[in-house]
Copies of this chain bind each other. A is one copy, B any other.
Amino acid sequence: MEFPLIDTVYVLEIAGTFTFAISGVSTAYDKRFDLMGVIIIAFVTAVGGGTVRDMMIGVEPVTWLTDTNIVITIAAAVVMSFFFLNSILKLKRALFLFDTIGLGLFTVLGMERAFEMGLNPLTAVIMGTVSAVFGGVIRDLLCGSIPLIFGGTIYAFNCVAGGFLYVALLSAGVAQQISMAVVVLSIITARTLAVKFNWSLPAIR
């Protein structure tokens, strides 16, 4: 059984939006922001990376402005988070888990958008990485934290490596949906291992 490709990309988008929104909500709770602050941070985390990508490659109005499902997905994530608030706050891993899933999904999604706009594989990898990490960067800037991308363990590097893997798989003729699944799981696995074993890239000097 095969799903149409367009649906697969769309499912990635909705799933990534949901997980990043939950990741944003967790951060905002941590900072004890009020209700509006929680909503803003959920939005910024979920759509920030894709918005920067769309503005850079020229998809305007940016995707989420013309797709109410994305706005509804974020609203649903915020509402759901109220009911599971204690679990989310207890599980320090929740923020990490959802952020990591979003990282994998948005890398592939961002690359697909870049290919659609005719970018070459090299800049498509960069756009995938921007999609994946810039929501978190803006979230961290607004919260006054040092962005997670400079936080020690391997983070953005996973997206770059996963992006090149995606290019390699497609060039090797692997089916698109299989390539996507492999790359998303690789990014999630690599990030999880990096945090578990505290892997970091060499600091210069």
List the one stretch of A5-13, A31-39, A182-190 in contact with chain B.
A31-39
> Which B residues touch A201, using CB under 8 A?
34-36
Whether the Cβ atoms of B204 and A117 lie closer than 8 Å is no
Copies in the complex: 3
The closest CB in chain B to the CB of A200 belongs to B34
Known: A61-B56, A62-B56, A141-B141. A204 touches B85 (CB 8 A): yes
Interface stretch (choices A16-24, A91-99, A103-111, A122-130): A122-130
Q: Which residues of A contact B (CB under 8 A)?
A: 28-29, 31-38, 40, 43, 51, 55-58, 60-62, 64-66, 68, 71, 82, 85, 89, 117-120, 122-123, 126-127, 137, 141-142, 144, 146-147, 149-150, 152, 154-157, 160, 200-205
